C-alpha cells in the first residue's frame, strides 16, 4: 500500500459514521437476501412505517404500500429480482400515525466476487414535501380550470355569433384539437365516445370523422390508456395532461395531450412531441445505471472534521469525505481547509451552524441561499454530527424555489382573473390572434368592408383600427390584381366551398408591396345566411426574398461555371446515378445528353495509368470525408489525351453514411505543356552551364598551372612578379565567375550539401578578408575591418561561409569608385552573429533594393557595368545565409549614398578557451605521382609544378596508357581527368580499383564537371577525392600530404 492509499484508508468513515451518514440522507435503510426476503431487522423501516418486526419479515413490507400502488410496487420488485437490476420507484407508504406519505423506494443488488447475487440493499427517501408542492400546484390549476369553465358556461350564449371565427382560429393552429361526446349504456356507464368537433390539423390526421365512434376508428386508445383517461376526466371533471407513446393504427410516436371535461364529453389538445422524446431517450441512455448507494444519491454529501486552536475552540474544518457529486462540484479537496476553499460560509452564517452541530450534536435541517464563490443558488442542508465534525447533505433546490414562486404567481393570477370581469369572447380570441407572429387576421362584411381589425393586422398592414375600419378591403390589393378580378373571385370561391387559399402580393399603408399567404373563410349564421368573411394573411416576404436570392445565386453560379468552361457533376452513390452539365460531355468528347449517367462512363475515359489512383482517391473521399483533389489524364472519344484537374467532396449524408459526391473538372492540358517546357528549359540550362564550366576549366587549369610554375621559376624581378600577380588575380576572378554561375544553379535546386561542423566565424571572416586584400589593393580600394577578440562559434560549412563573405567583399569592390571605402564589421548579439559590409559607392534605389538578390540582377549604372560580373554573387549570398538558418538585409539611402548589407546567422554558446597548438612545418616526401589527362598542356604544366615541389611525377594522355603506367610504376597517387576520349576517367578508375595493386592508391578526379551529380558519380566509380579545375596547386599538394599522413596513422 502506498502512502496515498494509506491516507485514503484513514479518511474512510467507520460503520457508525456510515450509519450517521445514511441517516442524514435517507429515512430508512434495509436489506434482504438474494430472493428478496427480509431476514434482518430494520428499526428505521419500522419507525418510518409503524410496521411490526413480524409483519416486516419475509415479503411483508408490501402491505405498507397504498392499495392503489401495491400491484405496481410488487411488479417492479419482482422485475428487479428477476433481472437483478436496481429498483427505483415512487409509492405511498403508510404513516405510523395514520395516513400515507409519498416515498422514493430504492434497492440495489450486491454481488459476490464470482458475480452471483449476494443480497439486496435498500433505502427510502421521503417525498412528501415534493408531492405536496405538486398537489398545491395542481389544485391551483384545477381551481383556475373550474373558474374558467364556469365563466365559459356563463358566456356560452355569446359564442353563437363568433362560432365561425372560433373555427377559423382553431384551424390556424398546428395542434390537433378535438371534442368528443360520451356514449353511455342503459346503466349510464361510458362505453365509447363520438367525435363532435375537429380542427383542420385533426382532419388532416383522421379525415372526416364527425359522428364516428372513437373505439371503432381508434381501438388502440384502449390499450394505450387514453380511453380510460377520457372516462375519468368526463366522470370526475379533473383535467389531465399526459405524455403518451402511441403505436397503434396509423400512429407511431409520442404525443402530449391535454384533456378537459366539456358537458358530457371531453375536449383534447394534442401536440406531436416525438422529436423531443427521441432527444430525451438519447440523453437517458447515456446515464450510468449502476452506482454505489452514496454515489447514486441525487444530493451532494460531504464530511468535515473540526480544526481547534490550543483552547479547544473550533477555528476551521477540513474535508474528510466527498461523494461523487461533491467531487464533481468541488474537485479534489480532501484534507483541505473549508475556510480557504469557501470563505463565504462565514458571511452566509453557515460556519456558526457547522460549529453548533459539532458542539451540540443537534441536527440542523434548513434551507439556505448562498451567493459566494461563483454560486447563486438555494440549497437544502441537512447537518448531522459525526465524530468531532459533521456530515452535510446538500440538495440544490433552486428549481423548486422557482416553482414555489411560480405557484404563488399562478395563485395570484387565478385570483386576479376571478376578480376581474371576463372580456367578451371575441376579445379573448383577438388577443390570441394578435400574438401570432407575421399574421394579419381581420373580418370583413359581405360587401368587402372591413368590420373588425386586430393589432396583428396593424403590424402587418400598417393601418390602425381608426384608420381602416369601414374602408373597403380593395385598399390592400394591387392594381393588376383588382383589374384581374382577384377580390371578387376570392369571395365567390370562399362562399361556394367555405374557404380559399393563395399566395399573392398585397400593399401596405406606406405603398410597399409584400407577399402573403392568405386564407379567406366564409362566416354564416345558423340559417346559413352570409355574415361576412375572415381573412388570415401571413407575411411570407422574407421567404420569397430568400427564394429569389437562392435562384439568383444558382444563376450566377451556373454562368460562372459556364464562363470558366468548367464541368460539374453530382454522383448519387446508392443508385450510381451521375448527373453532368454540358461541359462535362464536351471535355470527354461525347455528344451532349440529358438525364442520368453511370459512373463507369467517366472512369472508362480515365487514362489506364491514372485510373486506379483516381478510384482509390474517390473511395478515400467517401470513407474518410476528405476532399478529392487530383490531376489526371483522360482519353477522349477522338483518342486525344488531355490533362484534367478534378475536385469534389461529400455533399449529402443519410444516417452518417455518404450518399452524394459533388465536384468540378476542367482542362489543364495547356498548363501541363507549359510546365513541361519550363522543366525541359531548366534541364537544358543546367546541362549548358555544366558543359560551359567544363570547357572553360580545362584551359583555365593549364593557365593556372603555368602561372604557378612561372611563380616558382621566374627570377625575383619586380615587374615580372607584378605581371604574374595580375594574371593570377584575373585567373582567380575568372574561376570565381564560373563557380558563382554553377553555385547559384546548384543552390537554387537544393543540390548543395553543407558539410556542417562547429566553426569559429571570426577566423573564417579573417580568411575571407585575407583572400580579398589583393583585389582591394589592385583596385585601389580601402577596406576597414572590425572583428571581435573573442570567438563566435556556429554550426556551418566553413568553405561556404568564406564564399559568402568573399562575395560581399567582391561586391564592395565592384560598386565603389577609385579610392572607395568598404567597412566590414562582425559582432555577437543575442545568440546571433551580425556581419555587416558597408560601402560609400553608387548606392541603390528602393526598386533596386527589392530585387538586388534576384538571379542575374545588376544595378544599371555605368560603374557597375564597367566592373563586370554576372549578377549572381548576391543571390548566392542570400541562399547560403538561408541554408545556415540566417537571413540578409540591404539598406541604402539612395543613389550615390552607398549601401549596407547585413547578414544575421545563428550562433552557439562559447566553450572554454583552449590553447592553440600549431603543427611544425613538414618537409615534402617525394611520392610517386601519375598524371593522366588528354590535354597535353594541362598535363605538362601540372607535371612541371609537382616536380618543382619535389615529387616524382609521370604523365600519360589516355586512360589505357594510364592503366599500363600505373601497373608498371605502382604510384602512391594518380591524378585522373574525367572527360577523356576512348576510356573516360570513370571507367579508368574502376579498372584500376579492380587490380590487386590498385586498392591502396590515392585516386583524385581532376575535372571541369562540378555538379552534385558529377561528385556522386566519381565517388561511385571509386575515386577518393574530386577536385574541380582549375585546381589551386597548393590545395592539391596539401591534400596529398594530409592523405598520406592519415594513411601512415
Q: Is the Cβ–Cβ distance between 895 and 941 less than 8 Å?
A: no
Q: Which residues pair with 384 in a beta bridge?
A: 391
- Establish whether the linkage from the previous residue to 764 is cis, with ω within 30° of 0: no
Query: Can you tell me the distance from the alpha carbon of 705 to that of 948, in angstroms, rounded to the nearest whole number?
Result: 12
All three cell numbers of 606: 480515365
Class of domain 162-285: alpha beta
User: What pLDDT sits at residue 426?
Assistant: 54
3-state secondary structure of 86: coil
Q: Is the Cβ–Cβ distance between 465 and 494 less than 8 Å?
A: no
Domain 753-906 has CATH 3.30.565.10: yes
Q: What angle, 0 to 180 degrees and rounded to 10, lies between the N-to-C axes of helices 761-778 and 798-814?
A: 30
3-state secondary structure of 74: helix
- Give the β-pairing of 973-977 and 928-932: parallel
Domain 436-545 has CATH 1.10.287.110: no
CATH pick for 300-396 out of 3.40.50.300, 2.40.10.340, 1.20.1270.10, 3.30.450.20: 3.30.450.20
pLDDT along the chain (1049 residues), means of 10: 43 54 66 87 86 83 90 91 91 91 91 90 86 80 74 58 63 83 94 92 86 92 92 94 85 88 92 81 51 64 93 94 84 90 89 93 89 82 92 87 80 65 53 69 94 90 94 95 93 93 94 94 91 92 82 65 73 91 88 88 94 94 92 93 92 90 88 83 70 67 71 66 66 65 58 78 92 87 92 90 91 86 94 94 87 63 43 78 93 91 89 42 74 86 85 92 93 92 93 93 87 86 89 83 82
The per-residue DSSP string of 323-375 comes to: -HHHHHHH-S-TT-BHHHH-THHHHTTHHHHHHHHHHH---EEEEEEE--TT-
Q: Is the Cβ–Cβ distance between 973 and 1004 less than 8 Å?
A: yes
All three cell numbers of 57: 419479515
Cα 588 to chain centroid distance, Å, stands at 38
Cα 107 to chain centroid distance, Å, stands at 45
Q: What angle, 0 to 180 degrees and rounded to 10, lies between the N-to-C axes of helices 669-713 and 718-748?
A: 160
HSE-CB for 296 with a 13 A CA cutoff:
22
3-126: CATH number: 3.30.450.20
Query: Can you tell me the distance from the alpha carbon of 255 to that of 257, in angstroms, rounded to the nearest whole number?
Result: 6
For residues 326, 332, 337, 343, the Cα torsion angle rounded to the nearest 10 degrees is -60
Q: Is the Cβ–Cβ distance between 372 and 343 less than 8 Å?
A: yes
Residue 883: enclosing H or E segment and its boundaries?
Answer: helix 873-883
The per-residue DSSP string of 751-809 comes to: ------EEEEHHHHHHHHHHHHHHHHHHTT-EEEEE--SS--EEEE-HHHHHHHHHHHH
Query: Can you tell me the distance from the alpha carbon of 935 to that of 958, in angstroms, rounded to the nearest whole number?
Result: 9
Q: Is the Cβ–Cβ distance between 47 and 97 less than 8 Å?
A: no
Termini Cα distance of the chain: 62
User: What pLDDT sits at residue 744?
Assistant: 56
Give CA angle at 900 (896, 905), nearest 5°.
165
User: What pLDDT sits at residue 109?
Assistant: 93
Query: Can you tell me the distance from the alpha carbon of 209 to that of 197, in angstroms, rounded to the nearest whole number?
Result: 9
Q: Is the Cβ–Cβ distance between 273 and 256 less than 8 Å?
A: yes
Place of cell 594541362: 938
Cα 695 to chain centroid distance, Å, stands at 59
Over its C-alpha atoms, the chain yields an Rg (Å, rounded) of 51
Q: Report residue 814: phi and psi, to 5°.
A: -65, -35
Query: Can you tell me the distance from the alpha carbon of 375 to that of 381, in angstroms, rounded to the nearest whole number?
Result: 15
Sort 389 into a burial class: Cβ within 10 Å, 0-12 / 13-18 / 19+: buried
**Residue 1013 CA: distances (Å) to CA of 401, 444, 957, 1026:** 85, 96, 25, 12
Ranges of beta strands (E only) in 187-239 are 190-198
pTM: 0.33
The per-residue DSSP string of 589-639 comes to: TPPP--S-EEHHHHHTTB-HHHHHHHHHHHHHHHHH-PPEEEEEEEE-TT-
Candidates 1036, 1014, 1011; CA nearest to 1023 is: 1014
Where helices occur in 39-127 by DSSP H, the ranges are 43-49, 53-56, 67-83
Ranges of beta strands (E only) in 508-566 are 513-524, 530-539
For the chain, the farthest-separated pair of C-alpha atoms sits apart, in whole angstroms, at 152
Q: Do domains 3-126 and 753-906 have the same CATH topology?
A: no
Query: Can you tell me the distance from the alpha carbon of 77 to that of 36, in angstroms, rounded to the nearest whole number?
Result: 8
Q: Which residues pair with 501 in a beta bridge?
A: 519
- Break the chain into its structural domains and give their ranges: 3-126, 162-285, 300-396, 436-545, 564-667, 753-906, 928-1048
Place of cell 564550366: 693
All three cell numbers of 205: 390526421
Q: What angle, 0 to 180 degrees and rounded to 10, lies between the N-to-C axes of helices 959-969 and 985-994?
A: 30
Class of domain 564-667: alpha beta
**Residue 343 CA: distances (Å) to CA of 317, 326, 483:** 11, 17, 80
User: What pLDDT sits at residue 228?
Assistant: 95
Sort 800 into a burial class: Cβ within 10 Å, 0-12 / 13-18 / 19+: buried
Query: Can you tell me the distance from the alpha carbon of 805 to that of 764, in angstroms, rounded to the nearest whole number?
Result: 9
Domain 928-1048 has CATH 3.40.50.300: no
**Residue 373 CA: distances (Å) to CA of 47, 343, 344:** 40, 8, 7
Query: Can you tell me the distance from the alpha carbon of 665 to that of 584, in angstroms, rounded to the nearest whole number?
Result: 8
User: What pLDDT sits at residue 62?
Assistant: 85
Amino acid at each position: 500500500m502506498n502512502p496515498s492509499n494509506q491516507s485514503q484508508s484513514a479518511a474512510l468513515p467507520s460503520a457508525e459514521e456510515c450509519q450517521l451518514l445514511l441517516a442524514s440522507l435517507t429515512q430508512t435503510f434495509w436489506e434482504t437476501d438474494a430472493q428478496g426476503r427480509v431476514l434482518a431487522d430494520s428499526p428505521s423501516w419500522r419507525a418510518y412505517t409503524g410496521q411490526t418486526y413480524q409483519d416486516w419479515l419475509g415479503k411483508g413490507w408490501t402491505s405498507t404500500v397504498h392499495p392503489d400502488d401495491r400491484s405496481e410496487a410488487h411488479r417492479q420488485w419482482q422485475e428487479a429480482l428477476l433481472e437483478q437490476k436496481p429498483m427505483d420507484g415512487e409509492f405511498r407508504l403508510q404513516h405510523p400515525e395514520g395516513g400515507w406519505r409519498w416515498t422514493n423506494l430504492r434497492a440495489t443488488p450486491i454481488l459476490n466476487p464470482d458475480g452471483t447475487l449476494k443480497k439486496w440493499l435498500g433505502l427510502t427517501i421521503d417525498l412528501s414535501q415534493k408531492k405536496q408542492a405538486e398537489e398545491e400546484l395542481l389544485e391551483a390549476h384545477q381551481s383556475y380550470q373550474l373558474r374558467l369553465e364556469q365563466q365559459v358556461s356563463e358566456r356560452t350564449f355569446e359564442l353563437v355569433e363568433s362560432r365561425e371565427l372560433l373555427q377559423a382560429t382553431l384551424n390556424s393552429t398546428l395542434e390537433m384539437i378535438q371534442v368528443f361526446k360520451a356514449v353511455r349504456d342503459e346503466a349510464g356507464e361510458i362505453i365509447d365516445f363520438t367525435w363532435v368537433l375537429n380542427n383542420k390539423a385533426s382532419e388532416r390526421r383522421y379525415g372526416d370523422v364527425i359522428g364516428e365512434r372513437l373505439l371503432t376508428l381508434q381501438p388502440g386508445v384502449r390499450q394505450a390508456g387514453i380511453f380510460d383517461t377520457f372516462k375519468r376526466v368526463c366522470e370526475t371533471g379533473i383535467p389531465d395532461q399526459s405524455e403518451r407513446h402511441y403505436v397503434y393504427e396509423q400512429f407511431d410516436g409520442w404525443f402530449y395531450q391535454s384533456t378537459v371535461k366539456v358537458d358530457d364529453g371531453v375536449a383534447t389538445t394534442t401536440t406531436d412531441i416525438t422529436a423531443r422524446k427521441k432527444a430525451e431517450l438519447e440523453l437517458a441512455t447515456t446515464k450510468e445505471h449502476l452506482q454505489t448507494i452514496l454515489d447514486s444519491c441525487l444530493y451532494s454529501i460531504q464530511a468535515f472534521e473540526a480544526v481547534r486552536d490550543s483552547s479547544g475552540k473550533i477555528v476551521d474544518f477540513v474535508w474528510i469525505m466527498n461523494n461523487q457529486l461533491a467531487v464533481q462540484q468541488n474537485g479534489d479537496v480532501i484534507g483541505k481547509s473549508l475556510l480557504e476553499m469557501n470563505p463565504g460560509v462565514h458571511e452566509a452564517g453557515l460556519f456558526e451552524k457547522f460549529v453548533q452541530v459539532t458542539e451540540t450534536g443537534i441536527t440542523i435541517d434548513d434551507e439556505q441561499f448562498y451567493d459566494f464563490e461563483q454560486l447563486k443558488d438555494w440549497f437544502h442542508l441537512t447537518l448531522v454530527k459525526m465524530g468531532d465534525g459533521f456530515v452535510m447533505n446538500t440538495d440544490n433546490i433552486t428549481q423548486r424555489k422557482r416553482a414555489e414562486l411560480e405557484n404563488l404567481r399562478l395563485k395570484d393570477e387565478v385570483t386576479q382573473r376571478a376578480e376581474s370581469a371576463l372580456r367578451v369572447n371575441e376579445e379573448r380570441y383577438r388577443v390570441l390572434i394578435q400574438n401570432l407572429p407575421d399574421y394579419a387576421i381581420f373580418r370583413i362584411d359581405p360587401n368587402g368592408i372591413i368590420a373588425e381589425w386586430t393589432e396583428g393586422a396593424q403590424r402587418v398592414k400598417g393601418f390602425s383600427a381608426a384608420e381602416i375600419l369601414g374602408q373597403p378591403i380593395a385598399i390592400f390589393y394591387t392594381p393588376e390584381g383588382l383589374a384581374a378580378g382577384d377580390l371578387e373571385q376570392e369571395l365567390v370561391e370562399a362562399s361556394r366551398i367555405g374557404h380559399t387559399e393563395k399566395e399573392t402580393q398585397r400593399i401596405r399603408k406606406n405603398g410597399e408591396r409584400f407577399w402573403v399567404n392568405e386564407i379567406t373563410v366564409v362566416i354564416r349564421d345558423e340559417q346559413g345566411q352570409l355574415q361576412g368573411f375572415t381573412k388570415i394573411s401571413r407575411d411570407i416576404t422574407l421567404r420569397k426574398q430568400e427564394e429569389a436570392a437562392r435562384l439568383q445565386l444558382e444563376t450566377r453560379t451556373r454562368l460562372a461555371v459556364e464562363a470558366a468552361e468548367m464541368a460539374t457533376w453530382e454522383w448519387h452513390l446508392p443508385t450510381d446515378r451521375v448527373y453532368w452539365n454540358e461541359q462535362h460531355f464536351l471535355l470527354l468528347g461525347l455528344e451532349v445528353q440529358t438525364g442520368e449517367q453511370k459512373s463507369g462512363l467517366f472512369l472508362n475515359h480515365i487514362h489506364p495509368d491514372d485510373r486506379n489512383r483516381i478510384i482509390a482517391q474517390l473511395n478515400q473521399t467517401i470513407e474518410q470525408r476528405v476532399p478529392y483533389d487530383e490531376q489526371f489524364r483522360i482519353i477522349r472519344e477522338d483518342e486525344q489525351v488531355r490533362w484534367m484537374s478534378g475536385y469534389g467532396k461529400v455533399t449529402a449524408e443519410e444516417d452518417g453514411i455518404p450518399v452524394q459526391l459533388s465536384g468540378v473538372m476542367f482542362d489543364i492540358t495547356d498548363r501541363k505543356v507549359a510546365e513541361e517546357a519550363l522543366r525541359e528549359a531548366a534541364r537544358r540550362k543546367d546541362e549548358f552551364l555544366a558543359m560551359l564550366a567544363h570547357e572553360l576549366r580545362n584551359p583555365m587549369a593549364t593557365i593556372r598551372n603555368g602561372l604557378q610554375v612561372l611563380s616558382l621559376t621566374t627570377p625575383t624581378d619586380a615587374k615580372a612578379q607584378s605581371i604574374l600577380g595580375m594574371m593570377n588575380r584575373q585567373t582567380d576572378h575568372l574561376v570565381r565567375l564560373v563557380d558563382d554561375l554553377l553555385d547559384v544553379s546548384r543552390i537554387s535546386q537544393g543540390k548543395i550539401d553543407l558539410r556542417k561542423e562547429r566553426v569559429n566565424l571570426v577566423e573564417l571572416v579573417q580568411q575571407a578578408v585575407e583572400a580579398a586584400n589583393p583585389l582591394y589593393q589592385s583596385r585601389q580600394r580601402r577596406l576597414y575591418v572590425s572583428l571581435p577578440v573573442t570567438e563566435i562559434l556556429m554550426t556551418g560549412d566553413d568553405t561556404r561561409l568564406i564564399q559568402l563573405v568573399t562575395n560581399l567583399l567582391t561586391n564592395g569592390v565592384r560598386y565603389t569608385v577609385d579610392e572607395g571605402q568598404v567597412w566590414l564589421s562582425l559582432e555577437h548579439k543575442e545568440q546571433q552573429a551580425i556581419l555587416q559590409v558597408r560601402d560609400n559607392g553608387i548606392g541603390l534605389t528602393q526598386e533596386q533594393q527589392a530585387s538586388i538578390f534576384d538571379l542575374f540582377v545588376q544595378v544599371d549604372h555605368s560603374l557597375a557595368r564597367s566592373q563586370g560580373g554576372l549578377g549572381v554573387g548576391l543571390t548566392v549570398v542570400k541562399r547560403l545565409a538561408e541554408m545556415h538558418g540566417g537571413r540578409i538585409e540591404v539598406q541604402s539611402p539612395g543613389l550615390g549614398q552607398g549601401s549596407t548589407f547585413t547578414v544575421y546567422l545563428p550562433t552557439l554558446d562559447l566553450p572554454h578557451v583552449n590553447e592553440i597548438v600549431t603543427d611544425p612545418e613538414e618537409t615534402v616526401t617525394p611520392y610517386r605521382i601519375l598524371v593522366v589527362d588528354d590535354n597535353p598542356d594541362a598535363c605538362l604544366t601540372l607535371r612541371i609544378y609537382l616536380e618543382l615541389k619535389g615529387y616524382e611525377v609521370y604523365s600519360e594522355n589516355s586512360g589505357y596508357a594510364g592503366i599500363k603506367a600505373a601497373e608498371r610504376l605502382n604510384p602512391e597517387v594518380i591524378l585522373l581527368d574525367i572527360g577523356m576520349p576512348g576510356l573516360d576517367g570513370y571507367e579508368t578508375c574502376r579498372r584500376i580499383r579492380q587490380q590487386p595493386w590498385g586498392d591502396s592508391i590515392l585516386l583524385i578526379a581532376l575535372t571541369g564537371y562540378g555538379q552534385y551529380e558529377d561528385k556522386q558519380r566519381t565517388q561511385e566509380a571509386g575515386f577518393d577525392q574530386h577536385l574541380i579545375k582549375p585546381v589551386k596547386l597548393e590545395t592539391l599538394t596539401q591534400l596529398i600530404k594530409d592523405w598520406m599522413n592519415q594513411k601512415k596513422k
